[in-house]
Amino acid sequence: MEIIKNAREMQSISLKLRAEGKTIAIVPTMGFLHEGHLSLTDKARELADIVITSLFVNPKQFAPNEDFESYPRDFEHDKNMLEARNVDYLFAPDISSMYPIGFSTSIHISKITEVFEGASRPTHFDGVALVVLKLFEITRSDYAIFGQKDYQQTLVIKRLIEDLNLPVSMIVCPIYREPNGLAMSSRNRYLSDEEKDKAGTIFLALEAAKKAIAKGERKRKMINSIVLSIIRTVQDIKVDYINTSRAGNLETPDEFFPGEEIVILVAVYIGRTRLIDNSIIKIPSHI
């Protein structure tokens, strides 16, 4: 595995690889890798000749009151994990390589960014869209591999690709979970063992809603209330938002139609740690 720290150098390598007829897949990460991330690199290996994993804690997607400075980092740990997975290139730029002095470009995607995560973190998706576009341009990737856990982010990036006619195919892989159902996340390291046990309630709540939908529940507020009632059984969990939407555009009708694909979105705090999760479900056509 080759480690590249300069954006221009990574771009030059990528252009050379493409000229040789190689296909390229990018797995964008902020590091402190876990098995969920590695499942994305495995998917990238299935699809492309060359796998690039980026490791960059992007300051543009953190608000001033968020955890940019304390976000978990362990370069040696990440490097060793990626080498064991036969990744070809680790692109690990410093901030000055991505955002040099004088950098003044921004990106804004409307509508899809204004609810849920966007309402809680108003500048977040502008930063995500900017860094992802830069990664696509630097690596000239044919495929981009993302995880479902950051569901709204995947919709934002799909919109970015479609609106700007970017020549990249986006692949979204299923959520990778701990044994108790907790969605794997770099921020899970902030949780104590007791808090991790409590956080498993999020998955139980999503599964309960899924069962209710399978039995015929279609009303959005009822689905939300099922999730909320189970999460509230754990006193230490503070809810940021719980809502159910159409999976493709995050619209929130009062009732869903048979055959529609929906997504239940959850964001909660356990102590100071903010966790997100989701479940994609299809409303049964016949009960």
Instruction: Kindly report, residue by residue over 220-258, the tens digit of the pLDDT.
Output: 999 999 999 999 999 999 999 999 999 999 999 999 999
User: Domain 2-173, what architecture?
Assistant: 3-Layer(aba) Sandwich (3.40)
Q: How far is CA 185 from CA 34, 210, 279, in A?
A: 8, 22, 16
Is 200 within 8 Å of 268 (Cβ atoms)? no
Pick the closest to residue 142 from 55, 18, 40, 30 (CA basis).
18
Average pLDDT of span 88-92: 98
Q: Is the pTM higher than 0.85? A: yes
Q: Which residues are catalytic, by number?
A: 37
Which CATH number is 186-279's, of 3.40.605.10, 3.40.50.2000, 3.30.1300.10, 3.30.530.20?
3.30.1300.10
Specify the pLDDT at position 142. Answer: 98
- Phi then psi for residue 22, to 5 deg, are -80, 145
d(CA 233, CA 228): 9
Specify the pLDDT at position 25. Answer: 98
Tell me where in the chain the CATH 3.30.1300.10 domain(s) lie.
186-279
Is 54 within 8 Å of 27 (Cβ atoms)? yes
pLDDT tens-digit map of 53-77: 999 999 999 999 899 999 999 999 9
* 138: pLDDT strictly greater than 90: yes
Tell me where in the chain the CATH 3.40.50.620 domain(s) lie.
2-173
